[in-house]
Amino acid sequence: MVGVYDSGVGGLSVWKELVALMPGQDYVYVADSAHCPYGEKSPEYIVGRADAVTRLLLEKGADAVVVACNTATAAAISYLRASYQVPFIGMEPAVKPAALASVSGVVGVLATANTFKGSLYRDTVMKYASGITVIEKVGRGLVEAVEKGEIPRGLVRRYVDEMVGEGADVIVLGCTHYPFLEDEISRCAGPSVRIVNPAPAVAAQTMRVLDGHVSGTGTRKFYSTGDTAVLRSLATGIDPSLSPADFETISI
Ligand code: DGL
């Protein structure tokens, strides 16, 4: 069984790619929505939450965990790997494919403040984006809107205009909540700007880590530390066969 974890509903954008690749796999998803957003909380706080959620996922039977949150990956993946036996798959800042795809030599990355502070992001930029101008845009307010099931058109317009105005011809979705705003981001950016979503690559990496091993019968269970309404609506949009009984609020 694959455990999937995010600060909230955003990790569903990764789960969508996981089920597309491995539909027969069992999945348990935890949205830490009562403690979302993680974007500007302390690394210690995020490690504490990642630890509590991981314990729950293991208790529910996960034998691999996808940390479907760029912010939690940045703060906690080293701790998790050092603390538990199961494999952890984290989010990769998709700076390399973005740098390769850019013609203008300017790439925009939309992510949380904590993701930009992490060494994973900094190392990736150093390694793959030399000679490229990387515009780092903190998507303040976007995660909160997606958690409410809203599309914050004004904020999206502002962040996209700022990146495109500086010449970006590729925009990286550096937070797993943002694919739920992809249509709006794309509409604001226009047809000449490419949007890079790392979720398919993370799903493919998960399949490699599992080595083709599908452990289950296609069960799905979703827990949230907060309200399940938006989680249910987004997940059911991805898999219409889900039923209300698949969703539960849990206190951890
Ligand atoms: N989905 C999380 C990410 O990928 C959102 C972080 C937050 O809670 O601010 O970074």
In 3D space, the residue among 142, 126, 132, 74 whose CA is nearest the CA of residue 98 turns out to be 132
Q: Which residues are catalytic?
A: 69, 175
On whether 114 is known to bind a ligand per the annotation, the reply is no
What per-residue string of b and e applies to 54-66 under the rule 16 or more CB within 10 Å gives b? bebbbebebbbbb
Going residue by residue through the chain, which has 252 residues, state the pLDDT in tens, using 9 for 90 and above. Answer: 999 999 999 999 999 999 999 999 999 999 999 999 999 899 999 999 999 999 999 999 999 999 999 999 999 999 999 999 999 999 988 999 999 999 999 999 999 999 999 999 999 999 999 999 999 999 999 999 999 999 999 999 999 999 999 999 999 999 999 999 999 999 999 999 999 999 999 999 999 999 877 778 999 999 999 999 999 999 999 999 999 999 999 999
For tokens 């991805």, name the residue: 238
* Ligand 1 probe mutation, 4, 7, 33, most atoms within 8 A of CB: 7
What pLDDT does 213 receive? 74
In 3D space, the residue among 215, 38, 6 whose CA is nearest the CA of residue 115 turns out to be 38
What pLDDT does 188 receive? 98
Same fold, 2-91+200-249 and 95-197: yes
Q: Per-domain residue ranges for the chain? A: 2-91+200-249, 95-197
Q: pTM of the prediction?
A: 0.97
In 3D space, the residue among 132, 140, 81, 86 whose CA is nearest the CA of residue 116 turns out to be 140
* Ligand 1 probe mutation, 5, 6, 181, most atoms within 8 A of CB: 6
Question: Do residues 66 and 53 lie in contact, with contact meaning Cβ atoms separated by under 8 Å?
Answer: no
What pLDDT does 102 receive? 98
Burial class (CB in 10 A: 0-12, 13-18, 19+), 172: buried
Task: Write the class of the CATH domain 95-197.
Answer: alpha beta
Q: Would the CB of 7 count as within 6 Å of ligand 1?
A: yes
What pLDDT does 212 receive? 72
* Ligand 1 probe mutation, 36, 41, 42, 110, most atoms within 8 A of CB: 36
Helix (H, G, I), strand (E, B) or coil at 27: strand
Sign of CA dihedral 121, 126, 130, 134: positive
Q: Would the CB of 176 count as within 6 Å of ligand 1?
A: yes
On whether 246 is known to bind a ligand per the annotation, the reply is no
- In the chain, % helix, strand, coil (3-state, to 5) comes to 50, 15, 35
Helix (H, G, I), strand (E, B) or coil at 19: helix
What per-residue string of b and e applies to 10-42 under the rule 16 or more CB within 10 Å gives b? bbbbbbbbbbeebeebbbbbbbbbbbbbbbebe
Q: Would the CB of 10 count as within 6 Å of ligand 1?
A: yes
Residue 179 carries which DSSP code?
A: G
Task: Find the 179 Cα to ligand 1 centroid distance in Å.
Answer: 12
CATH of domain 2-91+200-249: 3.40.50.1860
On whether 71 is known to bind a ligand per the annotation, the reply is yes
- Atom 8, ligand 1: residue with shortest CA distance: 37
- Atom 9, ligand 1: residue with shortest CA distance: 39
Question: Do residues 231 and 208 lie in contact, with contact meaning Cβ atoms separated by under 8 Å?
Answer: no
